[in-house]
Amino acid sequence: MNGNKGQVMSLHDFDKQYYGEFPLLCGTDEAGRGPLAGDVFAAAVILPPDLVIEGINDSKKLSAKKRDALFEEIKEKALYWAIARCTVAEIEELNILNCAMLAMKRAVDGLGIKPDKVLADGNKIPPVECPCEFVIKGDAKSQSVAAASILAKVARDRYMEEMAEKYPEYAFEKHKGYGTKLHYEMLDKYGESPIHRHSFLKKYYAAKQG
């Protein structure tokens, strides 16, 4: 569905296109596909059709402070919400794309009600048991998807901060597991932790040896 060409549609207006036919519209998104360490998270959110949450956007475009505030507002005002994850062990077994899809399915399944329709961020449809369509860059188009993006991102960041306390030598609180210069320096110094995704590091090790 598309609005009038040439007009910038608000995130809420994008969702309004669906509410007539699908009152229980669910947005879902994942966080943590790219990092070298940690679980991948996903969230699913069903918002009231008339609700407009000011300042909501793609979680990557918001400050941590703004995400934290919106995290609480979304949970308070949503009709239903759920957060789920896939573990590092599952990522190693199933690969990260499959786990991102599985985490989104787990989030949708965790809502406690079956949505009328799911809008999934990205270019693939997770294996949910209800009508679903993907929305490329959905976290910047749909309020429901953006809300899910924020819940998933904040939940994962907080998890990585917990992991930083467990494995302080890696400074996970600073880079959240992403492949920063500092993170690679810590890997070179200390090797892998139990929450590192070994499959993500194979090319790095090969390049170092080459």
User: What's the pTM?
Assistant: 0.94
Polymer length of the chain: 210
Show contacts of 165-168: CB within 8 Å, 24+ apart: 167/193, 167/194, 167/195
By the 8 A CB rule, do 51 and 16 touch?
Answer: no
pLDDT tens-digit map of 60-82: 889 999 999 999 999 999 999 99
CA atoms of 18 and 23, how far apart (whole Å):
7
Phi then psi for residue 75, to 5 deg, are -60, -35
Structural tokens at position 143: 């309020």
User: What is the model's pLDDT at position 210?
Assistant: 67
User: What is the model's pLDDT at position 61?
Assistant: 87
Closest CA to 145 of 7, 1, 30: 30
Q: How many CA atoms lie within 13 A of 150 on its CB side?
A: 29
pLDDT tier for residue 2 given thresholds of 50, 70 and 90: very low
User: In CATH, what number does 11-161 get?
Assistant: 3.30.420.10
Given a cut of 60, whether residue 6 has pLDDT beyond it is no
User: What is the model's pLDDT at position 4?
Assistant: 44
Q: How many CA atoms lie within 13 A of 33 on its CB side?
A: 16
Radius of gyration in angstroms for the set of CA atoms belonging to the chain, rounded to a whole number: 18
pLDDT, mean of residues 29-50: 98
Chain center to CA of 3:
26
pLDDT tier for residue 57 given thresholds of 50, 70 and 90: confident
User: What is the model's pLDDT at position 208?
Assistant: 82
pLDDT tens-digit map of 94-152: 999 999 999 999 999 999 999 999 999 999 999 999 999 999 999 999 999 999 999 99
CA atoms of 129 and 104, how far apart (whole Å):
12
User: What is the model's pLDDT at position 132?
Assistant: 98
